C-alpha cells in the first residue's frame, strides 16, 4: 500500500483566511502580583472558554486554600498556574499557553511570570506575540519590573501594547487615580519609543481582573472610561504590522533553507509516479517574510548565485505563489550549491554579506557576559561561531537611558559588537523581524544565553575575497 | 494537482489550521535537520497519527526519514494495534515496540495495585531511547491537554534520566529552536503543541486522515466506573457490583484499556465528531482518563520522571 496525501486540502480558499478569522497570539507582562494570571483566568472564564471539569477543579482548589475568605470565590490564577510549585508559592514561574476562540478569531495566549528571576520566561512568551497585555497594579503604578518588561516589548517591537491598569476595584473606581497611572505609563512608553517609531500602538484600559470590569464587557463602574473592553480590543487589533492595506506582505521574500529534499528513489508517491520524482530536488523551509511566485528570480546566500523559481511544492500541491509563514519546498531552474543555512531571497533584496554587526542583547543566563566571549549564534537556520568583541552599553531601567558598561548580567538589556566566523547577509531587526533576530548559545553546554536583535550590520565583506571558509558548526 | 491560482487581491494571510500546519512542519524539519537519530512516538492514537501525517507532508515526495517507537502497555485496544501496524506499513517506516509486559514478567517493573499501566511506560520508554541512541523524540502532546503540558516548551530538554525540570526550562525565542544538548541529554519535540482538540479534528476532517474505528460511535459492552464508561475486556473486567450494558459510545483519547474511558456519543463520522467536540463542555482528559484523576498534579509528576 502506498501513502497518498490528500491534495484537496490546500486550495486557495483553504489557505487564505477569510477576513480576520485567523490566529492571534498575545502574552501578558508586568510586575509580580499585578494580576496577570487572574486577568487571563477571568478572560477565559467570562468568554466561556473554561470547560466544566476545569472550573470544578479550580473551584475545589480555591475552596481548599480558603481563597477569598468567608465570601469564597474562584482564584482564577489557578487556571494557568498549574505547576505544584506555582500553587504553593502563589506566583507564576513559567509561561502557560492557553487557547480560546470567540466568533471573531482564535487566540493563543501566553501567561508570563512577573518575578524578576523568571524574566527569561517572559521574553520567551513575548517573542511570538502579536500583542502584549502589560498589567499594572493601579495602587503601585509603574515599577522597575514594569519598565523592564516594557523595554523588552519595545526591543522586540511587539506590534500592539495594551496596558491594563488593574485592581481598580481597590481604588473604588476612582478616575483621578487611574488618570495618574495612565499619564505615567504614557511617559514611559514615549521614552522607550513604543507607539511612536512607526511600530506598535499603546492602549490603556482600567480593569479589575478579580471582579471582571472591562475584561469582556464594558463596566458600569467606570463611566468615565469610554474605550473598548480588553476582549473587544483583542478581537479587533490587526494581526501583523508588516502588511499593507490590502494585506500584502511588505517585507522582501526570505526562505531560510532547512534541508534539501532529494528522495533519490525513496519516495512516498504512487509507484507509477516514482520515476518522475527520481531527480527531484527542492529546498525546504518556512517562508520567513514576503511572498514568492513561480517564475520569480531569486538570489541565494552564501554564494550570491541567482536562479528562477520553477515550482513551489506543498506536499504534493503545486502552488503558484507562497507567502509567510508557509512551510514549502522551492524548486529552482539552476543547480546551485544550496545547503541548510542558505537563504533564498527575492533578487537584489539581500543586504551585502558582512562579518560584523551591532546588536541589542537581552542577557538571559545567570553567568555574566564578559567581552571576548566565544559563543554560537543562530540566525534562521544558520548556526556559526562568533565572538562578542565588545559590550558598548546597558539600559538603565531608572532613567531609561543607555549607560556605559563592559559586561552584561542576567536580565540586562545591553548593546554589543559581534564578530561572525562566516559571511552572513545581516539584516536589521527593524527592517525584518525574522531575519534580524538571533540566539546567542553557549558553545559547550548549549544553553541559550541571550536573545539578540540586530541594530546595524557591519562593513560589507569585500566581494571576491574568497575567504568563505569560516568555521561551520555541525549541530 | 494544481491549486486554483490566487488572485492578487487576496489577502496574504493563512487560516488558523494552515498556520498550525506550517508551524508543525517547520518544527519537524528543524529537528530532523539538527539531530542525528530522531524517533517518533507512535501509538495509533489520533495525535500521533496527525504528527505522522505532518511528517509525511514535511518530506514529500520522499519517505519519512524518522523511525517510530511505541511503548505497548499490553493493555492496548486490539483494533488500535491493528491500525498502528497497517499505518506503519503504508508509510514504509520502521517501528520498534517496547513492551511493558516484558518488564513485568522479568520483574523490572511491578504491576500497580490499581491495575493501571500508563505510569509504567516511563522506564521502557527511557530504555528504548537509550538503546536506539535517540537524541530527539517526537511526541504528539498538546498544551491544551493538561495544565502541566500547558507549560512545556516545543523543544524540551531532558537529562539522562529523562527528567523534565519545569522550574528551569530553556528560553524558547521566536521560532529559533535551540537543540544543542550534551551527551546523555535528549530533546522531546512537540510539533502540535499549539493545536487544540478541535484543531486536530478539523485537520483530520480536512485531510481525510484515517483513524482507528473506536474514535467513532459504535456499540460496546461497558460498565460505569469513576463516571466513565469502561470497556469490558480481559484486562478491565467489571467488579461484581458493576452492571454491564451495551451502549453507543466513542473514545476521545486512546490509551491503556485499563484507564481510558469511553463517552456516550452518536458521532459516527468525522463531521459529527467535529461538531460534538466544538460544543463539548468537558475536556478530553477529564472525560476519559482515570490516571489523571489520581491527584491534581498527576501529569506534572509523571512528566518530571520522564513520561511523555
Ligand atoms: N482586588 C483585586 N485583587 C486582584 C486583582 N487582580 C489580581 N488580584 C490579586 O492579586 C494577587 C496576585 O494575582 P496574580 O494573578 O497571581 O498575579 P500575577 O501578575 O499573575 O503574578 P506573577 O505571575 O507571579 O507575576 C492575587 O491575590 C489576586 O487575587 C484585582 O483586579 N483586584
Ligand atoms: Mg501569574
Does residue A243 lie within any of the structural domains? Answer: no
- Indicate if A318 and A417 belong to the same structural domain: no
Tell me the sheet residues that pair with A402: A395
Distance in angstroms (rounded) separating the CA atoms of residues A388 and A419: 6
What pLDDT digit, counting tens, does each position of A130-165 carry? Answer: 999 999 999 999 999 999 999 999 999 898 999 999
Does residue A241 lie within any of the structural domains? Answer: no
Does residue A111 lie within any of the structural domains? Answer: yes
For residue B51, pLDDT beyond 80:
yes
Q: Ligand 2 center to residue A92 CA distance, Å?
A: 4
Q: Which residues does B134 contact at the CB level (< 8 Å), separation at least 6?
A: B37, B38, B39, B69, B128, B186
Contact B179 A475 (CB under 8 A): yes
| Contacts within 8 Å (CB) and 24+ apart, A199-202 | A199/A157, A199/A159, A199/A241, A199/A430, A200/A153, A200/A154, A200/A157, A200/A158, A200/A159, A200/A160, A200/A161, A200/A241, A201/A159, A201/A160, A201/A161, A202/A161, A202/A162, A202/A163
Contact A124 B33 (CB under 8 A): no
A92 lines ligand 1 (CB under 6 A): yes
Q: How confident is the model at residue A275 (pLDDT cuts 50, 70, 90)?
A: confident
Atom of ligand 1 nearest to the CA of A170: 1
Q: How confident is the model at residue A242 (pLDDT cuts 50, 70, 90)?
A: low
> Considering the domain B16-200+298-304, what is its CATH architecture?
3-Layer(aba) Sandwich (3.40)
Contact B58 A446 (CB under 8 A): no
CA dihedral (B162, B168, B172, B176) positive or negative: negative
Q: What is the pLDDT of residue B6?
A: 37
How long, in residues, is chain A? 475
Q: Are A187 and A21 in contact (CB under 8 A)?
A: no
Q: How confident is the model at residue A245 (pLDDT cuts 50, 70, 90)?
A: low
A454 lines ligand 1 (CB under 6 A): no
- Indicate if A311 and A365 belong to the same structural domain: no
Q: Calculate mean pLDDT across residues B79-96.
A: 96
Q: Ligand 2 center to residue A114 CA distance, Å?
A: 7
Q: Ligand 2 center to residue A161 CA distance, Å?
A: 18
Cβ of residue A403 closer than 8 Å to a chain B Cβ: no
Q: How confident is the model at residue B296 (pLDDT cuts 50, 70, 90)?
A: low
ipTM > 0.90 for the complex:
yes
- Indicate if A123 and A265 belong to the same structural domain: no
- Indicate if A119 and A228 belong to the same structural domain: yes
- Scanning A279-338 for CB atoms below 8 A from B yields 280, 284-286, 291, 313-321, 323-327, 329
Chain A partners within 8 Å of B13 (Cβ): 16-17, 22, 239, 243, 247
Contact A82 B147 (CB under 8 A): yes
Does residue A5 lie within any of the structural domains? Answer: no
Best to test chain B binding among A82, A269, A270, A287 (most B CBs inside 10 Å)? A82
Distance in angstroms (rounded) separating the CA atoms of residues A452 and A439: 6
- Indicate if A284 and A417 belong to the same structural domain: no
How many other C-beta atoms can be found within 10 angstroms of the C-beta atom of residue A399? Answer: 10
- Indicate if A229 and A292 belong to the same structural domain: no
Q: Are B308 and B124 in contact (CB under 8 A)?
A: no
Number of structural domains, chain A? Answer: 3
Q: What is the pLDDT of residue A240?
A: 61
- Indicate if A398 and A260 belong to the same structural domain: no
A208 lines ligand 1 (CB under 6 A): yes
Domain holding A313: CATH number?
Answer: 2.40.30.10
Query: Which residue from A28, A35, A121, A170 has its CB within 8 A of the most atoms of ligand 1, so it is best to mutate?
Result: A35
B250 phi and psi angles, rounded to 5 deg: -145, 165
Does residue A314 lie within any of the structural domains? Answer: yes
Q: The domain containing residue A444 runs over which residues?
A: 354-457
Q: What is the mean pLDDT of chain B?
A: 89
A34 lines ligand 1 (CB under 6 A): yes
Ligand nearest to the CA of A137: 1
| Residue written as grid cell 498527576 | B298
In eight-state DSSP terms, residue A232 is: H
In eight-state DSSP terms, residue A208 is: B
For residue B291, pLDDT beyond 80:
no
- Indicate if A267 and A390 belong to the same structural domain: no
The residue of chain B nearest to residue A158, with distances taken between CA atoms, is B174
Q: Calculate mean pLDDT across residues A65-73.
A: 78
Q: Ligand 2 center to residue A84 CA distance, Å?
A: 14
What pLDDT digit, counting tens, does each position of B237-281 carry? Answer: 899 999 999 999 999 888 888 788 999 999 999 999 999 998 887
Q: Which residues does A89 contact at the CB level (< 8 Å), separation at least 6?
A: none
Q: What is the pLDDT of residue B292?
A: 58
Report the gap between the CA of A64 and the closest CA in chain B (Å): 12
In eight-state DSSP terms, residue A91 is: S
Q: Calculate mean pLDDT across residues A176-190.
A: 95
For chain B, residues classed under CATH 3.40.50.620 are: 16-200+298-304
Most confident of A271-280, A325-334, B70-79, B116-125: A325-334
- Hey, what's the cell of A210? 478579580
Does residue A312 lie within any of the structural domains? Answer: yes
- Indicate if A426 and A289 belong to the same structural domain: no
Q: What is the pLDDT of residue A193?
A: 83
Contact A21 B19 (CB under 8 A): no
Per-residue 3-state assignment (H helix, E strand, C coil) for chain B: CECCCCCCCCCCCECHHHHHHHHHHHHHHHHHHHCCCEEEECCCCHHHHHHHHHHHHHHCCECCCCEEEEEECCCCCHHHHHHHHHHHHHHCCCEEEEEHHHHHHCCCCCCCCCCCCHHHHHHHHHHHHHHCCCCEEECCCCCCCCCCHHHCCCEEEECCCCCCCCCCCCCCECCECCCCCCCCCEEEECCCCCCCHHHHHHHHHHHCCCCCHHHCCEEEEEEEECCEEEECECCECCCCCCCCEEEEEECCCCCCCCCECEEECCCCCHHHHHHHHHHCCCCHHHHHECHHHCCCCHHHHHHHCCCC
Q: Are A133 and A29 in contact (CB under 8 A)?
A: yes
Tell me the sheet residues that pair with A327: A286
More confident residue, B110 or A375: A375
Does residue A469 lie within any of the structural domains? Answer: no
Radius of gyration from C-alpha coordinates of chain B: 20
- Indicate if A96 and A171 belong to the same structural domain: yes
Tell me the sheet residues that pair with A193: none
Contact B282 A249 (CB under 8 A): no
| Residue written as grid cell 566566523 | A421
Q: Calculate mean pLDDT across residues A280-292.
A: 95
What pLDDT digit, counting tens, does each position of B168-203 carry? Answer: 899 999 999 999 999 889 999 999 999 999 999 999
Does residue A135 lie within any of the structural domains? Answer: yes
- Indicate if A279 and A367 belong to the same structural domain: no
Domain holding A188: CATH number?
Answer: 3.40.50.300
Q: What is the pLDDT of residue A393?
A: 95
A96 lines ligand 1 (CB under 6 A): no
**A290: helix, coil or strand?**
coil
Q: What is the pLDDT of residue A266?
A: 84
- Indicate if A129 and A265 belong to the same structural domain: no
Chain A partners within 8 Å of B169 (Cβ): 94, 121
> What share of chain A has pLDDT > 70, as a percent?
88
Amino acid at each position: 500500500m502506498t501513502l497518498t496525501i490528500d491534495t484537496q486540502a490546500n486550495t486557495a480558499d483553504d489557505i487564505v483566511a477569510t477576513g480576520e478569522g485567523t490566529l492571534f497570539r498575545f502574552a501578558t507582562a508586568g510586575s509580580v502580583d499585578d494580576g496577570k494570571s487572574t486577568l487571563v483566568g477571568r478572560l477565559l472564564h467570562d468568554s466561556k472558554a473554561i470547560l466544566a471539569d476545569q472550573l470544578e477543579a479550580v473551584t475545589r482548589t480555591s475552596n481548599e486554600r480558603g481563597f477569598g475568605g468567608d465570601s469564597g470565590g474562584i482564584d482564577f490564577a489557578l487556571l494557568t498556574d498549574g505547576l505544584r510549585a506555582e500553587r504553593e508559592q502563589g506566583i507564576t514561574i513559567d509561561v502557560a499557553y492557553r487557547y480560546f476562540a470567540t466568533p471573531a478569531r482564535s487566540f493563543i495566549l501566553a501567561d508570563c511570570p512577573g518575578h524578576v528571576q523568571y524574566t527569561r520566561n517572559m521574553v520567551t512568551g513575548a517573542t511570538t506575540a502579536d500583542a502584549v497585555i502589560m498589567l499594572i497594579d493601579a495602587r503601585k503604578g509603574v515599577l522597575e519590573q514594569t519598565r523592564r518588561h516594557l523595554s523588552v516589548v519595545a526591543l522586540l517591537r511587539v506590534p500592539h501594547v495594551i496596558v491594563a491598569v488593574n485592581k481598580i476595584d481597590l481604588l473604588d473606581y476612582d478616575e483621578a487615580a487611574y488618570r495618574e497611572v495612565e499619564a505615567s505609563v504614557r511617559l514611559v512608553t514615549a521614552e522607550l519609543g513604543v507607539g511612536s517609531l512607526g511600530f506598535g500602538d499603546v492602549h490603556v484600559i482600567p480593569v479589575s481582573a478579580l471582579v471582571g470590569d472591562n475584561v469582556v464587557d464594558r463596566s458600569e463602574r467606570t463611566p468615565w472610561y469610554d474605550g473598548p473592553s480588553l476582549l473587544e480590543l483583542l478581537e479587533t487589533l490587526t494581526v501583523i504590522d508588516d502588511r499593507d492595506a490590502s494585506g500584502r506582505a511588505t517585507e522582501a521574500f526570505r526562505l531560510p533553507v532547512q534541508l534539501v529534499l532529494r528522495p533519490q528513489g525513496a519516495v512516498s508517491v504512487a509507484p507509477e509516479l516514482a520515476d518522475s520524482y527520481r531527480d527531484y530536488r527542492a529546498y525546504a523551509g518556512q517562508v520567513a517574510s514576503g511572498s514568492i511566485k513561480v517564475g520569480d528570480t531569486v538570489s541565494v546566500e552564501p554564494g550570491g548565485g541567482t536562479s528562477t523559481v520553477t515550482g513551489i511544492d506543498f506536499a504534493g500541491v503545486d502552488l503558484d505563489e507562497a507567502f509567510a509563514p508557509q512551510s514549502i519546498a522551492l524548486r529552482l531552474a539552476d543547480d546551485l550549491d544550496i545547503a541548510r543555512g542558505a537563504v533564498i531571497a527575492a533578487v537584489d533584496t539581500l543586504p551585502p554579506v558582512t562579518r560584523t554587526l551591532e546588536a541589542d542583547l537581552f542577557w538571559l543566563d545567570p553567568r555574566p557576559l564578559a567581552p571576548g566571549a566565544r559563543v554560537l549564534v543562530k540566525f534562521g537556520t544558520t548556526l556559526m561561531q562568533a565572538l562578542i568583541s565588545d559590550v558598548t552599553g546597558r539600559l538603565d531601567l531608572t532613567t531609561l537611558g543607555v549607560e556605559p558598561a563592559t559586561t552584561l548580567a542576567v536580565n540586562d538589556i545591553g548593546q554589543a559588537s559581534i564578530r561572525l566566523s562566516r559571511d552572513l547577509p545581516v539584516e536589521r531587526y527593524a527592517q525584518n523581524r525574522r531575519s534580524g533576530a538571533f540566539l546567542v548559545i553557549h558553545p559547550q553546554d548549549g544553553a541559550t544565553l541571550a536573545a539578540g536583535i540586530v541594530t546595524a550590520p557591519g562593513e560589507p565583506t569585500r566581494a571576491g575575497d574568497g575567504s568563505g571558509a569560516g568555521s561551520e558548526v555541525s549541530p | 494537482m494544481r491549486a486554483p491560482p490566487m488572485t492578487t487581491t487576496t489577502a496574504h494571510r493563512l487560516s488558523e489550521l494552515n498556520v498550525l500546519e506550517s508551524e508543525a512542519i517547520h518544527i519537524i524539519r528543524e529537528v530532523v535537520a539538527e539531530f542525528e537519530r530522531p524517533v517518533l512516538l507512535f501509538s495509533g492514537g489520533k495525535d500521533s497519527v496527525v504528527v505522522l501525517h505532518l511528517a509525511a507532508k514535511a518530506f514529500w515526495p520522499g519517505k519519512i526519514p524518522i523511525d517510530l517507537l511505541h511503548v505497548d502497555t499490553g493493555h492496548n485496544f486490539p483494533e488500535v494495534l491493528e491500525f498502528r501496524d497497517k499505518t506503519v506499513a503504508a508509510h514504509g517506516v520502521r517501528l520498534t515496540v517496547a513492551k511493558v509486559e516484558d518488564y513485568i514478567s522479568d520483574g523490572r517493573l511491578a504491576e500497580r495495585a490499581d491495575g493501571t499501566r500508563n505510569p509504567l511506560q516511563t522506564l521502557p520508554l527511557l530504555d528504548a531511547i537509550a538503546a536506539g541512541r535517540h537524541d530527539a523524540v517526537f511526541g504528539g502532546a498538546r498544551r491544551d491537554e493538561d495544565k502541566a503540558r500547558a507549560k512545556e516548551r516545543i523543544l524540551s530538554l531532558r537529562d539522562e534520566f529523562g527528567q523534565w525540570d519545569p522550574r528551569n526550562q530553556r528560553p524558547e525565542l521566536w521560532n529559533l529552536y535551540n537543540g544543542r544538548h550534551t551527551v546523555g541529554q535528549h530533546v522531546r519535540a512537540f510539533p502540535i503543541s499549539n493545536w487544540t482538540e478541535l484543531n486536530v479534528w478539523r485537520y483530520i476532517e480536512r485531510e481525510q486522515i484515517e483513524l482507528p474505528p473506536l474514535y467513532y460511535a459504535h456499540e460496546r459492552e461497558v460498565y460505569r466506573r469513576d463516571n466513565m464508561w469502561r470497556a469490558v475486556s480481559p484486562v478491565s473486567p467489571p467488579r461484581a457490583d458493576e452492571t454491564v450494558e451495551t451502549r453507543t459510545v466513542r473514545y476521545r483519547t486512546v490509551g491503556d484499556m485499563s484507564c481510558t474511558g469511553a463517552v456516550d456519543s452518536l458521532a459516527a463520522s468525522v463531521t459529527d465528531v467535529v461538531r460534538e467536540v466544538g460544543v463539548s463542555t468537558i475536556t478530553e482528559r477529564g472525560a476519559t482518563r482515570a490516571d489523571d484523576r489520581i491527584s491534581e498534579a498527576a501529569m506534572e509528576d509523571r512528566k518530571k520522571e520522564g513520561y511523555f
